[in-house]
Structure 1
Amino acid sequence: MAVSQFDQFLRDATICDPDSGATLERDRLYGLYISWCTVTHTRPRRERSFWAAMRRRVDPDQNTLRMKGPAAADYLLSSYPNLV
């Protein structure tokens, strides 16, 4: 069975950390997805498709996810350009 783009995104760019109490809020989760698409040269799906897929995989409002990997770095640098 082929791995979906959304499953690959979750594997590559997030980590579940239930002990932290952290949640990737909706804007950040979608922004991370866009950064992941940029880094992996993957065509992003429409936002509506993204949220439909996430509803089946994680709770977008209470998910205990944290960012990781190159997509996280891209997202942070894009969101906070004064860090450079």
Structure 2
Amino acid sequence: MTDTQISSFLRECVVSEDDTEKGLDFDTFYGLYISWCVLGRKIPIPDSAFKTALAVEGLKPIKDKGRRIYPGMGMVGPAARDYVMNSVPIWTETATDIPVVEIRQEAVPSIA
């Protein structure tokens, strides 16, 4: 059997956890794949081809509230760390929490 890019990705980045109802939604799964490609300097396939490749590998999603979920799937390895670290916003304050400093025109010295 030929080792494909997707089968390598699955082997390195995904674990099957049959004892859990959780899983990866499609966007997370594809984001993990993109992180794996970036770290490995590989050219990613488009999301539509990725969905087809997962089906060829025997992974079938279920629909949950309009989202495609791959049940029992979990992330592992360096690509998982990269995906999580680059997906979580560091600054979560709203614009109303940022102090506004008023600069009055007469306070600015002229350059002559």
SS of aligned partner of 2:33: helix
Q: How many Å separate the matches in 2 of 1:44 and 1:59?
A: 20
Aligned to 1:20: 20
- TM superposition shift of 1:28: 0.4
Contact residue 17 and residue 72 of structure 2 kept, 8 A: yes
Structure 2 length as normaliser, TM-score?
A: 0.68
- TM superposition shift of 1:10: 0.5
Equivalence map 1:40-79=2 (5 Å) = 40-57=40-57, 58-60=59-61, 61-79=69-87
Compute the RMSD of aligned alpha carbons: 1.6
Return structure 1 stretches of 4+ with deviation > 3 angstroms. Answer: none
More deviation, 69-78/1-10: 1-10
Structure in which a larger fraction of residues adopt helix: 1
Larger Rg: 2
Q: How many Å separate the matches in 1 of 2:16 and 2:75?
A: 9
Structure in which a larger fraction of residues adopt strand: 2
Q: Structure 1: 5+ residue runs without aligned partners?
A: none
Percent sequence identity is 35
- TM superposition shift of 1:20: 1.9
Aligned to 1:8: 8
One-letter amino acid of the counterpart of residue 74, structure 1: D
Q: Structure 2: 5+ residue runs without aligned partners?
A: 62-68, 91-112
